[in-house]
Every structure is written in structure tokens, then in C-alpha cells.
């Protein structure tokens, strides 16, 4: 997998499938957090980290956005269900 960061997120190119995928800034942040913590992070942990970065956003909104972003990363094949815990 080759990736390049952009202001609007990150572009991933899968060498095996020759598919290109654009990941939102939130999705990129989540992937970075998960990569930095190989022991794993729960969805709650990730939402807390997002809230720390964006304290003006309500915690409930952070949780909903993290859940949706994780679903999108799973659907795109950039994350497996074992990479995080619900």
C-alpha cells in the first residue's frame, strides 16, 4: 500500500488491487492512532482522542463520527475488525 497525505485527507493506492481510496482527515487520524498503539484502542478511546483534538465538538458527536469513520475504513479494506475494539 502506498499513501500520500493531503490537506483533505490521505490518498491510498493498493498495489494488489490497483484501487485508489481517499480517506478523510478523521479516517487518517484514526489510522495513525491505531498504528501508534499496536496493543489496540477501543472505539471509546478513539472518540476521546478525537474530542481532545477537537474540544469544541460534543463527545457524543465524536463517538458517532468515529463509529462512521471506522465503518468506512472497514468497508474500504483499510482496517480489519481486529484492529480496534467496539
Task: Summarize pLDDT for 40-55 with one digit per residue, the tens.
Answer: 899 999 999 999 999 9
Task: Summarize pLDDT for 25-45 with one digit per residue, the tens.
Answer: 999 999 999 989 988 899 999
Q: Kindly state the cell numbers that stand for 24.
A: 478523510
For the chain, give every domain's residue range: 24-83
Instruction: Give me Rg for the CA atoms of the chain.
Output: 13
* Contacts for 19-22: CB closer than 8 Å, 24+ residues apart: 21/76, 21/78
Q: pTM of this prediction?
A: 0.82
Amino acid at each position: 500500500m502506498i499513501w500520500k497525505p493531503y490537506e483533505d485527507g490521505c490518498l491510498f493506492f493498493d498495489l494488489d488491487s490497483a484501487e485508489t481510496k481517499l480517506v478523510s482527515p478523521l479516517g487518517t487520524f484514526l489510522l495513525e492512532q491505531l498504528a501508534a498503539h499496536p496493543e489496540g484502542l477501543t472505539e471509546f478511546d478513539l472518540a476521546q482522542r478525537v474530542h481532545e483534538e477537537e474540544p469544541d465538538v460534543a463527545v457524543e458527536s465524536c463517538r458517532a463520527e468515529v463509529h462512521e469513520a471506522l465503518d468506512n475504513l472497514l468497508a474500504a479494506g483499510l482496517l480489519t475488525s481486529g484492529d480496534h475494539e467496539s
